[in-house]
Amino acid sequence: MIQHFYDAHYDGARTAQGFPRIWEKVQGKIDDERNREVLAHLNYQAGHAVVWRDAVNRFYHDLSRIEDDQRRVGNNTWRIEAESMTLRNYRAASANPSITASGGRAVTASGGDGTATTKLDYADGTYDVAVGYFDTNGGKARWEISLNDKKFGEWVGDNEDRLFHASSTALDGTTAARVTFRGVQIKRGDTLKIVGKPGGNEAAPLDYVAIVPPGGLD
């Protein structure tokens, strides 16, 4: 039964990754506003499916002590935990419950903009870069992500406005989110940097970065 929980949540998260790509096929066939709004919800759902896949599977793994026969649970080899990166004005923070953060912890900015950097040890190639973060109430933080100081993505912590769902001020399962940038060219030794710019009471929380082959899932 526990193995079924693991398998079902991994299968479900992978299925959800395909929803945005399916919706993108209708671009130009419906009005732009509706296209953008639905795509935003599907992208959020794809990311949140991974959040809850991990949280639910870790809960049952910790409760039962039964190992996943494919050794996926707790073994996110494509991820770099934010707390393991080189940090400036970022400090470790706990999620509640801890299973809603990868590795059990995240980082939040203090004393201005926070910077998290790391050297990438991946073979040269094209990857999808996913960032786990927390989008809390009480402000609208901004994040920028770059390779070798060349920005390739940015986002805003405004899910509480765009998705019309109840949120919180805590680092928890409600505020955990994920954004993915597709088709990023990476060379071994590149420096990846994320700059978090707090807004209001939202301290630009970061959880992890995942570097995965195109269409893959960490």
- Distance between CA atoms of residues 109 and 204, nearest Å: 6
Whether residue 204 lies inside any domain: the answer is yes
2 contacts 72 by C-beta, under 8 angstroms: no
Q: Are residues 48 and 129 in the same domain?
A: no
Residue 23 has a pLDDT of 93
Residue 96: the pLDDT is 93
Q: Would you say residue 73 lies in a domain?
A: no
- Domain interval for residue 173: 79-212
Q: Are residues 56 and 85 located together in one domain of the fold? A: no
Both 22 and 127 in one domain: the answer is: no
pLDDT at res. 202? 95
**DSSP category for residue 213:** -
- The CA distance from 115 to 126, in Å, is 24
pLDDT at 160: 85
**Structural domain count, the chain:** 2
pLDDT tens, residue by residue, 66-94: 999 999 998 888 999 999 999 999 999 99
How many helices (H) and strands (E) are present in the chain, helices listed first? Answer: 3, 11
Contact in structure between 120 and 188 (CB atoms under 8 Å):
yes
In a domain, 70, yes or no: no
Distances in whole angstroms, Cα of residue 186 to Cα of each of 31, 125, 128, 206: 35, 6, 10, 21
Cα radius of gyration (the chain): 17
Spell out, as residue ranges, where the chain has pLDDT lower than 50: none
pLDDT of residue 164: 63
Reduced to 3 states (helix: H, G, I; strand: E, B; else coil), residue 164 is coil
Compute CA distances 162 → 28, 41, 92, 165, 203, whole Å.
Answer: 22, 8, 28, 9, 19
The pLDDT assigned to 122 comes to 94
**Residue 16 to residue 27: CA distance in whole angstroms:** 19
In a domain, 74, yes or no: no
CB 108 within 8 A of CB 183: no
pLDDT of residue 55: 94
Q: How far apart are CA 211 and CA 121, in angstroms?
A: 10
Nearest residue to 55 (alpha-carbon basis) of 7, 8, 104: 104
The pLDDT value recorded for residue 152 is 97
* Residue appearing with tokens 């040269």: 124
218: in domain:
no
* 100 and 59 in a common domain: no
How much is the pTM? 0.92
What is the pLDDT at residue 161?
Answer: 83
- Bridge partners of 115, per DSSP, are 88, 195
